[in-house]
Amino acid sequence: MADAQLGTAGPLPGAESEDVELYHPHSWLTKYVFSQDAKIIAIQYASTALAIGLVALVLSWLVRLQLGFPGAISFIGPKEYYQLITMHGMIMVIYLLTALFLGGFGNYLIPLMLGARDMVFPYVNMLSYWIYLLAVLVLVASFFAPGGPTGAGWTLYPPQAILSGTPGQEWGIVLMLLSLILFIIGFTMGGVNYVVTVLQARAPGMTLMRMPLTIWGIFTATILALLAFPALFVGAVMMLLDRLLGTSFFMPAIVEAGQRLRYNGGSPILFQHLFWFFGHPEVYIVALPAFGIVSDLISTHARKNIFGYRMMVWAIVAIGALSFVVWAHHMYVSGMNPYFGFFFATTTLVIAIPTAIKVYNWVLTLWRGDIHLTLPMLFAIAFIVTFLNGGLTGLFLGNVVVDVPLSDTMFVVAHFHMVMGVAPILVIFGGLYHWYPKVTGRMLDERLGQLHFWATFLGAYAIFFPMHYLGLMGVPRRYFDIEGLSFVTPSVATLNAFISVVALLVGAAQIVFLYNLVRSLTHGAPAGPNPWRATTLEWQTPETPPPHGNWGATPPVVYRWAYDYSVPGAAEDFIPQNQPGRAPGPAPA
C-alpha cells in the first residue's frame, strides 16, 4: 500500500505558514525573566514544576514513614497525615505532571518540532507562566497559613472539604481552590497558544500527518485540558462560594458535631461529577504527551520508524474522545444511580482497545529494530512495563463489579501510581535525558543516569507492585493508621516497612538526578547539534542551543514524515525531515 503521507512525496504545495517577524527583547530582564521566548518559558515551567515536585516527593517520604513505621515521626499526627497526602497528590498531578508536560515539554517542543519561530501569542504565553507561578505560590502559602493546608484528599470532596472536621478548613481549602482557579487561568492561556500554534504555525510541508507523535500527544492533551479544566473551574468556584458565602451548591442539610448547619438542599455528588469530568481526562492530559514522547524516544533509539503511525495518531484521538465518557468509573460506589455502572464499565473497557494498540505498536517498533540501550531508551522501555502493568489493573477497576471490593483500597493507590505516577514520570526522565543536549548543548552524565534509572525503575516497581495485594486484602487508602484491623495479618507491617525503605531509596535517586541536571550544565560532554542522529526538526537547528527565533535566516521546509529511520538504500540510517528529495528506497509497503 503506497502512501504519500507516510512516505516521501516532495514538498507540498503551499506553505503551512509564512515566516513571521518576532518580538525582540531589549533587556536582560525581558530576555531571561519576563521572556516571551517559548524556550525560556519552557525552562521556567519545567524548573518550577520540578521544584514543587520535589516538595511533593518529600511529602511522600513522610507519608511512607508513617505507613511503614507508625508513630516513628512524632510530628505526624492524623491531621498532618491528611494534609501530607492531599498536598502530595495534588502537587504531583496538577502542579508537576500537567505543568511539566504541557508547559515544559509543550513550550519547548511545539515550535521547534514544527519548524516555527515561536508560539503564536508569545505575550500570552509569558503570562501563562507567571500565573502558574502565582498558583504555585498560593499553594505553598497554604503550608504557612493558620491551620495549615487542606487535608481533604486531592479529590476535595465536599461536604467534608469545607467543614471543620477536616484539617485546613479555615485557610487551607480556600487557598487550594484559589490556586486551582489560578492554575486553570494560566493553563488556558498557554493551552490556547499550543493549539493555535499547532494549527497555524507549522513549517511549509509539515502536514498534520507528518507531525511527530510527541506533538500529536501534546496537541490532543491540550484540547482535552481546555475542555476538561472548565469543569474543575466551576466546581472550585462553587465550592468557594459554599465555603465563603454560605451557598449550598454541594451542601445538603447537615448536622455537624450536634450543630445544624445553615446549608440545605445541595448535592455532594454533583461535585464528584464535575471533579471526575475533569479528573478522568486529566489522566490522559498527562498520559497522551507521555505516549507521544515515548513513541519518538523508541523510534529514535531503535533506529526504526514508529510502527503504525496513522494507527497511533488515531489511537491518540480516539482515546482523547473516549476519555470524556468514562468519568463515572471513579464513582461506581459513590451512591450514584447504580445503573450507570453498565454504561461506564462498557466505555471504560472499550478505551482499553486503542490503549492496547499503542502498547503493541511500541513493542512492534522494537521488533526488527536496531536497539540502542541509551538512557532515553531504557526509560522508554521501563515506561512500557509500568504503563502496561497499571493499564491492566485498570481493567480490574473499570469493570464495575470488580471495583466494588477494591475501590478506595491500596489497590487503587498502586494502580494509579503505576499508570499515571510512575509511568509518565519515567517518560519525563527519558525526555529530559533525550532533549537536555538540545536545551543546554551538553549531555547528561551517563553513569549517574544509569544509577538514577535502575534505582527509579526497579524501586518504583518494588514499591507499587506488592501494594496491590494489600488492597486486595482490604487495606484501605487514606488511613493514618491500620492498627487493630482484624483482617490485616501481621506480615502486612513488614511489607509496609519494606515499601517505605524502598521509597526513601527511590527518593534519594531523584536527588542524584537533580545533581546531574545541575552539574552537567557546566561539566557535561558537549553534545553537538544532533547527538542521537534524530530526524525531527528540533535537532536540525543551525545553532545549539537554539537562539531566539530558532532557525536563523531561513525557517525549515519539510519534505517527509518524522520517522525516516533506516530507509533502505539511504546512506545514513536517518533522514532529517527537512532533507529534500525522494528517499532512494521503495515506497513503504
Partner 1 sequence: MAPVLVLIAVGSIAFHLLSPWWWTPIASDWGYIDATLIITFWITGIAFTAIVLFIAYCLVRFRHRPGARAAYEPESRRLEVWLTVVTGLGVAALLAPGLVVWNRFVSVPPGASEVEVVAQQWRWAFRLPGADGRLGAANIRHVGEENPLGLDPEDAAGRDDVVIDGDLHLPLGRPVKVLLRSVDVIHNFYVPEFRAKMDIIPGTVTYFWLTPTRVGTFDALCNEVCGVSHYAMRGRVVVDAEPDYASWLQRQRTFAQLPAGRGQRRVAAQQTAPSDR
Among 147, 153, 466, 585, the residue binding ligand HEM under the rule CB under 6 A is 153
Q: For 47, list phi and psi in degrees, rounded to 5.
A: -65, -45
| Alpha carbons 107 and 46: distance in angstroms, whole number | 10
Q: Is 476 in the site for partner 1 (CB under 8 A)?
A: yes
Cα separation of 547 and 551, whole Å?
8
Q: Which stretch binds partner 1 (CB under 8 A): 217-225, 237-245, 394-402, 509-517?
A: 394-402
Query: Which residue lies nearer to Cu ion by CB, 118 or 282?
Result: 282
> How far apart are alpha carbons 534 and 438 in whole angstroms?
12
- Under rule CB under 8 A, residue 163 binds partner 1: yes
List the single partner that 414 binds among partner 1, ligand HEM, Cu ion, none, CB under 5 to 8 Å by kind: none
Interaction partner, residue 528 (ligand HEM, Cu ion, partner 1, none; CB < 5-8 Å by kind): none
For position 273 contacting Cu ion by CB under 5 A, the verdict is no
Contact positions with ligand HEM (CB under 6 A) in 388-417? 413, 417
Toward partner 1, which CB reaches closer, 377 or 439?
377
Alpha-carbon gap, residue 322 to 351, rounded angstroms: 6
How many Cβ atoms sit within 10 Å of the Cβ of residue 99?
A: 28
Q: CB nearer to ligand HEM: give 392 or 570.
A: 392
Taking the complex as a whole, the smallest distance from the CB of residue 402 to partner 1 amounts, in Å, to 5
- Consecutive H or E run containing 256: strand 255-256
Contact characters 217-256, partner 1, x per CB under 8 A: -----------------------------------xxxxx
Residues 6+ apart with CB under 8 A from 93: 154, 282, 286, 420
Nearer to ligand HEM among residue 91 and residue 174 (C-beta): 91
The three-point CA angle 92-95-98 to 5° equals 90
Contact call for residue 147 and partner 1 (CB under 8 A): no
**From the list partner 1, Cu ion, ligand HEM, none, partner contacted by residue 98 (C-beta under 5 to 8 A by kind):** none
Instruction: Name every residue whose Cβ is closer than 8 Å to that of residue 391 and which is 6 or more positions away in sequence.
Output: 352, 355, 356, 359, 419
Task: Mark the segment that binds ligand HEM (CB under 6 A) among 62-70, 174-182, 270-278, 430-438.
Answer: 62-70
Q: Which is nearer to partner 1, 513 or 563 (CB)?
A: 563
Q: Is 350 in the site for partner 1 (CB under 8 A)?
A: yes
Q: Round to whole Å and give the CA distance between 453 and 444.
A: 13
Q: Which does 366 bind (CB under 5 to 8 A by kind): ligand HEM, Cu ion, partner 1, none?
A: partner 1
Site for ligand HEM in 84-103 (CB under 6 A): 85-86, 88-89, 92-93, 97
Q: At residue 211, what is the residue type?
A: M
Secondary structure class of 484 (helix, strand, coil): coil
Scanning the structure block, which residue is given the C-alpha cell 495479618?
489
* Closest residue by Cα to residue 393 from 357, 419, 359, 355: 419
- Tell me, residue by residue from 509 to 548, as one string, x for binding to partner 1 by CB under 8 A and - for no binding: ----------------------------------------
The only residue of 39, 64, 210, 280 in contact with Cu ion, by rule CB under 5 A: 280
Which position has the grid cell 533506529? 303
**# binding residues, ligand HEM (CB under 6 A):** 24
Q: Could you say whether residue 573 binds partner 1 (CB under 8 A)?
A: yes
256 binds, among Cu ion, partner 1, ligand HEM, none (CB under 5 to 8 A by kind): partner 1
* Cis bond upstream, residue 376 (ω within 30): no
Cβ proximity of 468 and 454 under 8 Å: no
Q: Does 548 bind ligand HEM (CB under 6 A)?
A: no
280 binds, among Cu ion, ligand HEM, partner 1, none (CB under 5 to 8 A by kind): Cu ion
Q: Is 572 in the site for partner 1 (CB under 8 A)?
A: no
Residue 446 touches which member of ligand HEM, partner 1, Cu ion, none, C-beta under 5-8 Å by kind: none
Residue partners of 372: CB distance under 8 A and separation at least 6: 301, 302, 303
Binding to partner 1 (CB under 8 A) within 27-66 occurs at none
Query: For the chain, what is the largest distance between any 2 Cα atoms, rounded to a whole number of angstroms?
Result: 82
Q: Which residue is nearest to ligand HEM (CB)?
A: 89
Quickly tell me which residue has 521503495 as its cell.
586
What number of residues does the chain have?
A: 589
Residue 522 CA to its chain's centroid (Å): 28
Coil, helix or strand for 260?
Answer: strand
The C-alpha cell at 141 is 502559602
User: Cα angle vertex 123, ends 122, 125, to 5°?
Assistant: 65
Query: Quick count: other Cβ atoms within 10 Å of Cβ 94?
Result: 26
Helix (H) or strand (E) holding 255: strand 255-256
Number of residues that bind partner 1 (CB under 8 A): 117
CB of 405 within 8 A of CB of 476?
no
Residue 180 contacts which entry, Cu ion, partner 1, ligand HEM, none (Cβ below 5-8 A, type-dependent): none
Q: What is the DSSP letter of 259?
A: E
CB of 326 to Cu ion, least distance (A): 6
Range 399-428, binding partner 1 (CB under 8 A): 399-402, 404-405, 407-409
**Residues forming the site for Cu ion (CB under 5 A):** 280
**Residues forming the site for ligand HEM (CB under 6 A):** 60, 63-64, 67, 85-86, 88-89, 92-93, 97, 153-154, 413, 417, 420-421, 425, 460, 463, 477-478, 503, 506
